[in-house]
Structures are given as C-alpha cells and as structure tokens.
Amino acid sequence: MPPKRKAQAALDDDDFDEVEEEALSDQDTFDKLKQALDPVAMGKRARANHAVDAASFLFKKCDQWDAALKPDHANRPLWVDDAGHIILESFSPIFDEAQDFLINIAEPQSRVSRIHEYTLTPHSLFAAVSVGHSSQEIIDKLERYSKTTLSPSVLVFIEKSTSSFGKAKIVLKKNMYFIESDDASVLQRLLRDPVIASCRADADAGLIQEAAPKLGQMAIPGTKMAGINQPTQAAAPPVEPRPSDMIAALRVDEDEEDVAQVHSFRIEDQERNQVIKRCQDIGLPLTEEYDFNNDFTNTNLDIDLNAHTQIRYYQEKALSKMFSNSRARSGIIVLPCGAGKTLVGITAACGVKKSIMVLCTSAMSVVQWRNEFLKWSNIKPEDIAVFTSESKNLFPRGAGIIISTYTMITSTKNRSHDSAQVMKFIQDREWGLLIADEVHVVPAAMFKKVTYSIKSHAKLGLTATLLREDDKIEDLNFLIGPKLYEANWQELSEQGHIAKVQCAEVWCQMTPEFYAEWLKPSSVQKRALLSIMNPRKFQACQFLIDYHERRGDKIIVFSDNVYALEKYAKKLQKVYIYGGTTQTERLRILENFQHNADVNTIFLSKIGDTSLDLPEATCLIQISSHYGSRRQEAQRLGRILRAKRRNDEGFNAFFYSLVSKDTDEMFYSSKRQAFLVDQGYAFKVITRLEGLEQRPDLAFSTPQDRRELLMDVLLAKDADADEEKIAGDMFGSKFASTGSRAKRKNVARRTAGTLSELSGGQDMAYIEYSKSRNKELKKKGMKNDFLRKLTKVPKK
C-alpha cells in the first residue's frame, strides 16, 4: 500500500487497516493461520481451555480479553469483554436471574432470541447505584455470572463509575431546591466547582445541617402480598403508614440510636438543570428522591388503588425500582405499548399520595388518563382537574391531580387569561410527583421549560421506545433521571401480556413501466410516490387484505402519503382517515370498524401513529413510511400489541411492510426494523404471494390499467402544484394574506377529484405558469419556490 493511501486508510479506519496489514502483508500470517488451523494445535488449545479459535487472532483489537474459561463456564451465562460489552446466553438455566441483574446495571443493546447484548455505561451504572446496588455487589455478581474472570479494566471502570454515585441528592423543600449529602466534604467539593458555586442561592451562609430522616419500608400498592420486597415481612405494614404512625415510629428511633446528619446548600430554582448536568459532567451525578412519608407540609391526596386492582409482575418490578427505599426516585420506566404504562403511573401516584401532575402529548390522552385514574383508583372525580384548551378547572381541595399537555405547560406566547391563572396555580405549588407520559417525544428544550414551571419532588417518565433519530434522548437522563426499568418485549408476549406478532417484509418487484420512470432523473418525492404506487405493491396489498379479511382479522393499512392513501382506499373501496377527515367522520368510521362486521379494513395516514387507539386491530399493513424512523415502526407495531384477542388460543397478530424492490424503500425499511429486530422480532421476507396471480379481481392486472395509473401518478405532484397555482392566481391576494398554510389544506382537499381529468397539455401549461408564478413569489419574498421544486435534480 502506498504511504499516502495507507495514511488515508489509517484516518478512515484505524482498526481495519491494522487487521488488513496483519492478514495480508505479514509473512508469518500464513504460518499463524496454518498453525491456527492445525487440528493438533487446536486440540491442545481446547484442552488448555482457552477462548481461542482459529480466527481469533484476526480480531485481536476487538477481543483483547481472552482470559481462560472457568471450569464450570457452561453454567455461567455471561461473556464480558474488556470494554464492558456483555453477551448473555438466553438458554442458560439461570438466564432469568442474570437478566434481572443485567437490566439493572447495563444498557440493553439487542435482545434477539438466543443472545442478548448489554453494555456497561456510566449511566447504566449510575442507575444501578441509585437503585441501591453497591459497587462490590455489582462486581461480585458479574464475576459469578461470567464465564471468564473479569478483565481488570472492567473492574476499574465499575469502581470508578460507581464510587462517586449516589453521594449527593437534589431535594425540594418549601418550594426551594437543595443539594444534600450526608458527607459534607462532597458538598464542599461540589462548591469548589465554579459553575455550581455560581448557581448557589445561599452563598453567604455555611452548609445547613439537620437530622436525616429515617429510612422506612413501604409496600407497593396493588401487589398480592404487601411487603413481598421487604426482608422483614412482619415489620412491613400492608398499607402505607399514616403520618401519625410515622411520627410515633420516628420518636422510637430517635430514642434508640444516634440520628444521622445530612448537610445541604440551596440553589437557585432556575439553575436546577444546569446543576444536575454539571454534577453529572464532573462525575458526581445527583440522585433525586422524594421522601414523601416524611413530608408533612404538603397535603396528602386521598387516593388508593381499587381493592381488586392487581398489577402485573413486571409493573411491580418497575415500581419496586422506583420505591425501593420507601422514597420516590425520579427516573424513566420503559414498557411496550399496551403493557399498562398508565397503570404504572397511577400506582406510583397511589404510592406517593400527594398532588400529582400528569403531562401527555395530546388532548385525547389527557381524557384517557383521567378515565384510567377513575377506573383503577378510588380518586374522587372532582380531585382530578383537566388543563387543556377547552377545560381549565382546578381541584378544590389542598391536594389533587392535574392532567395536561406538554404544549399547554410550555407555550408561553398568547396565553389566554384563564390558562395564565391555572399556570400560576401550577407554578406556585409543590408537586409530589410529575408523570411524563410518552417521554421520548419531549425534546429537551421543551422539557426544560416544564421543569421551570413545575416544582415536583419526583419525576416519572413513561415510554415504550426510549429512542429518537436525533441525539436529544441523552438529555432525558439529567432532566428526569436514569432509566429505572426496561421490559423485554419477547418475554411479555410469551406470557400473553402483549400480543404475539408475526412480522414480514413483502418485496414487490417494480413493474417495468414504473421502474423505467423511477430510473429517470426526477425529484425525490416523485420517486417515492412511484415506489409507493407500484402496481405490484398495490396487488400485494389487495391480496393481503383479502386474505386476512377471510381469516376474520381487522386490518389497518398505514400510508404516510395522503395521495397514495386515497388512491389505495378508493380503488379497494375501503374507508380511510387522514388529517383532513372531520372529527365526526372519524368517529363514524372508527365506530364502524369496531362494531360493523362489514368494515374490516381501514386506511390511516400518520394520524394513526399517535392519536387513535384501536384494540380491535389484529393485522397491520404498511405501504409507505417516513424515512428510517425506528420509533414510528415500533409505535405502529405497538398498535396491534394491545389486540383484544391476544389471549385466544394460538392467536397471532400480523405486521407487514410492503417494500418496492430496488428502490430507496429497501434501505429505509432495514433501518426502521433495526429496533424491532433488537427487541427480538424476526422479520420474514416474502418475495412471492402464493395464488396472487390467480385472483380474478386483481387490480391493475392489465398493462392498460397500469399505464393509466402511471399517468395519474406522474401528474399527481404537478397537479398538486397546479391546483396551488390556480388557487394562487385566482385568489392570490386573498391567500397572500392568510399565509401558505391555508393553501396547503385547500390543495389537499381538492386534488383527488381532478387528477384523472388532467391531460399532458395542461401539464405543459403549468410549467409556463409556474415560471411567472415563481417570479411573483420571489417578489413577495415567499419561501415556497415551485420552480425549484419542479426542476430539482435528485442528489444521486
């Protein structure tokens, strides 16, 4: 390799370069290889019980830790490498306990059926310590489960990461934030940091010193045996002790032993996030815990789970992480859709028994949360206030629940008088617990605003998929807290808590005429539309709908593209819902889908991703999707996980992705699936649907039909623009004042009817128009430049 190229290669990929060097240029590589493959030598190594195989030297860089296997390695389920990467064998007899342990201390990377991968990170270890594991305990258990002795670097990493964790806390007292520790030197160390020192509110004073509250025991509501988590069951009362009992208990303790001391200093409210972030950056992360048992200043909320409400074991597990030392710890709980996130939130609320704030993404889930609270707990309806655009009431007593949306809390502009008043009420009080629903959708900037407005002792984040396509997810760690629990989807579906799902990707060839058009240079949008409207895909969709309707399934078809949605639905004579569908129409369609035996298929646009809840659906077909969004994929799958029929004998839900072969869709599809594959879902690839050609009523079966469809598709985009142009020209002055948004809606409503009437001649006319229109737009300084759109050449 010439030096220049080699340097370049080294820049590109250091490791690879080195391996290549070793493999290709070294003279003794050949000897090594020969030696490695020599059966006698191999046998020797095997007898020596070393984790070495014929090719291992090739991976030197990635696999430095090649310690000897322990003699009983077969009974130990873990491989732990040098860099904190852990592989867990799910077929091990002690898989369950090993997994329980790993979830606490490491970040799950992928959990496919036989092999699960985890990584030790500072965050995951922080979470472990804050949940109550000691550094020694982590090392001991890892050592016990590992097939080899642990590498020194892993030991150092764990020691280093855990030693400083959990030393300092952030607490809310009398509406003020304090940094608290039982070790004054830790606080002094923090105050030596200029950033933290500048956030201090009581700069002139020394450290505050007071008696530490005694740790109590608490039972999680809704569990079969209260006290199941406690070492001494007799000592744990079945229900949370009333304050009076607590005071009595405290007095006894004070008599018996010396009371531990805690030290603290106060910080400015608005600097809370900065302090938390800074502490994390300097390796002394703060934990946030709420000792609600000893909070006698805030009014108790009269709430308990209904007598017959039982929570499931994984919900209990998640909550036990939150309440393990009888305090409410801030953090995030990850459960798949349909696994009962709401109930976890409600149970947590019943544990804390103080004023609760619930934040949701939409007004609809606000209503759902309210209903769930009434369903599972004995909360009085008047104690739940709903704060949305149409309802701005407050609770009458000293404590209560407010359910609201993120936008309601965070939007600062244009606040109406009523909502300003409610906001003041919210800002002026201390909240026991803040429940953040669908916490993954909340970008950090927005959540910061939330923490300014709502002073809460503890925060509980709930989500199904703790992932975003951007890197904003990291911030949740310091805005809310560490991940407390993450459920395994496969395990839950095996136990029938969520539906079993068969996933398949259906590869559809492009028809020659469509592919020829696709290959021509044109806009990205046009290409996307061509691959969505591919007649073979259409046929596959028709076939699958028919097949599953015969089986008695209820089917949802998703399309992000409204044009395609409308085309598909109309051609197949199915109902469809998209953003433009009126509220009453939506309800009518959903009602029919749920109860009318003749309506078994509905077509949904992106609307179905968030705002609709359809427990009847058992089969899901995706005909187009947005780029490589893993979250969307997971969320859509989640739509059928809560299938009502999931406990029927042998029941299976189905999830199909229709993909046009040899187009960009192939790439996006694999990207989108990454998350589900890691959750253990196997995707089958279907390239041929048996019996498809034999169907007599197959759509677009003649070349003539396909050509007509192609024409339609080719005109579609232009038609959109054309409509816009006409609208703009005819009502130019009117729309100029109302903004581009009105035009958009107008276009969406009007395209469908006129599409087939358009001819090529009119299309040409459009180009002429659009040029002049373009100038006009430029003059007006408008952003929408249609000529540019039209003449845009794809990147490739």
> Closest separation between CB of residue 523 and DNA, Å?
8
CB of 631 to DNA, least distance (A): 6
Question: Closer to DNA at the Cβ: 300 or 632?
Answer: 632
Q: Are 179 and 189 in contact (CB under 8 A)?
A: no
Chain contacts with DNA (rule: CB under 7 A) = 362-364, 388-389, 404-405, 407-408, 411, 413-416, 419, 441, 443, 445-446, 468-469, 525, 560-563, 578-580, 582, 605-607, 610-611, 626-627, 629, 631-632, 737-739, 741-742, 744-745, 748, 789, 795
- Shortest gap between Cβ of 90 and DNA (angstroms)? 31
The least CB distance from residue 604 to DNA, in Å, is 8
Residue in the block written with tokens 């008599």? 255
Rg, the chain, Cα only: 31
Give whichever of 684 and 745 is closer to DNA, judged by the CB atom: 745
Closest approach, Cβ 449 to DNA, in A, equals 9
List CB contacts of 736: < 8 A, sequence separation 6 or more: 780
What single-letter amino acid sits at 174?
A: K
CB of 634 to DNA, least distance (A): 11
Residue closer to DNA, measured from CB, 323 or 538: 538
Q: What are φ and ψ of residue 450, in 5° steps? A: -60, -45
Provide the H-helix boundaries in 284-430. Answer: 313-323, 341-352, 363-376, 406-410, 417-428
Nearer to DNA among residue 408 and residue 508 (C-beta): 408
Return the number of the residue (157 or 406) whose C-beta is nearest DNA: 406
Helix (H) or strand (E) holding 762: helix 760-780
Q: Is the dihedral of CA 717, 722, 723, 728 positive or negative?
A: positive
Neighbour count for residue 724 (Cβ, 10 Å): 22
Q: Which is nearer to DNA, 60 or 780 (CB)?
A: 780
Least distance CB 470 / DNA (angstroms): 7
Q: In angstroms, rounded to a whole number, what is the distance separating the alpha carbons of residues 147 and 72?
A: 8
CB of 213 to DNA, least distance (A): 37
Q: Could you give the residue ranges of the DSSP H alpha helices within 679-739?
A: 703-730, 732-738
Of the candidates 220, 239, 242, the residue with the CA atom closest to the CA atom of residue 322: 220
The pairing of strands 356-360 and 430-436 is parallel
CB of 606 to DNA, least distance (A): 4
Closer of 610 and 670 to DNA (Cβ): 610
Residues 6+ apart with CB under 8 A from 555: 544, 545, 548, 549, 600, 601, 602, 617, 618, 619, 620, 621
Transcribe 297-312 into DSSP letters: SSPPP---B-TT----
* Cβ proximity to DNA, 491 vs 785, nearer residue: 785
Three-state SS for 208-221 is EEEECCCCCCCCCC
Nearer to DNA, 146 or 751 (CB): 751
Q: How far is CA 776 from CA 184, 620, 734, 771, 782, in A?
A: 70, 45, 15, 9, 9
Residue among 472, 453, 473 nearest 332 (CA): 473
Closer by beta carbon to DNA, 273 or else 525 = 525
Query: Cβ contacts of residue 490 below 8 Å, gap of 6+?
Result: 111, 113, 679, 680
Q: Between residues 319 and 602, which has the closer beta carbon with respect to DNA?
A: 602
Decide: 322 and 331 in contact? Cβ < 8 Å: yes
* 3-class secondary structure, 43: helix
Q: What is the largest CA-CA distance in the chain?
A: 96
DSSP bridge pairs for 261: 211
Nearby residues of 680 by Cβ (< 8 Å), 6 or more positions away: 111, 112, 113, 488, 489, 490
| Minimal distance, residue 559 CB to DNA, in Å | 9
- Between 456 and 561, CB nearer to DNA: 561
Quote the Cα angle for 362-366-367, to 5°: 120
Q: Which is nearer to DNA, 389 or 594 (CB)?
A: 389
Q: Of 347 and 624, which has the nearer Cβ to DNA?
A: 624
Q: Are 664 and 494 in contact (CB under 8 A)?
A: no
In the complex, minimum distance from the CB of residue 542 to DNA, in angstroms, rounded to a whole number = 22
Nearest to DNA of 453, 509 (CB atom): 453
3-class DSSP assignment, residue 787: helix
Nearer to DNA, 42 or 364 (CB): 364
- The nearest distance, CB 489 to DNA, in angstroms, is 20
* Min dist. Cβ of residue 476 to DNA (A): 12
Q: How far is CA 504 from CA 298, 546, 619, 656, 778, in A?
A: 53, 17, 11, 5, 48
Q: Give min distance, CB of 584 to DNA, in A.
A: 8
Q: How far is the CB of 110 from DNA (least distance, A)?
A: 21
3-class DSSP state of 518: helix
Taking a C-beta distance cutoff of 8 angstroms, is the pair 683, 677 a contact?
A: yes
Q: How far apart are CA 229 and CA 233, in angstroms?
A: 8
Q: Whole-number minimum distance, CB 595 to DNA, in Å? A: 22
Residue 30 neighbours by CB distance under 10 Å:
10
Q: Residue 451 or residue 490: which is nearer to DNA going by CB?
A: 451
Task: Extract the runs of DSSP E, i.e. beta strands, from 136-256.
Answer: 168-173, 176-181, 208-211
CB of 438 to DNA, least distance (A): 9
What tokens were used for 242? 């009333």
Do residues 486 and 118 touch, judged by C-beta distance below 8 A? no
Q: What distance in Å separates the CA atoms of residue 26 and residue 54, rounded to the nearest whole number? A: 17
Distance in Å, CB of 778 to DNA, minimum: 14
Cα–Cα distance measured from residue 310 to residue 209, given in angstroms and rounded to the nearest whole number = 42
CB atoms within 10 A of CB 64: 12
- Residue closer to DNA, measured from CB, 128 or 777: 777
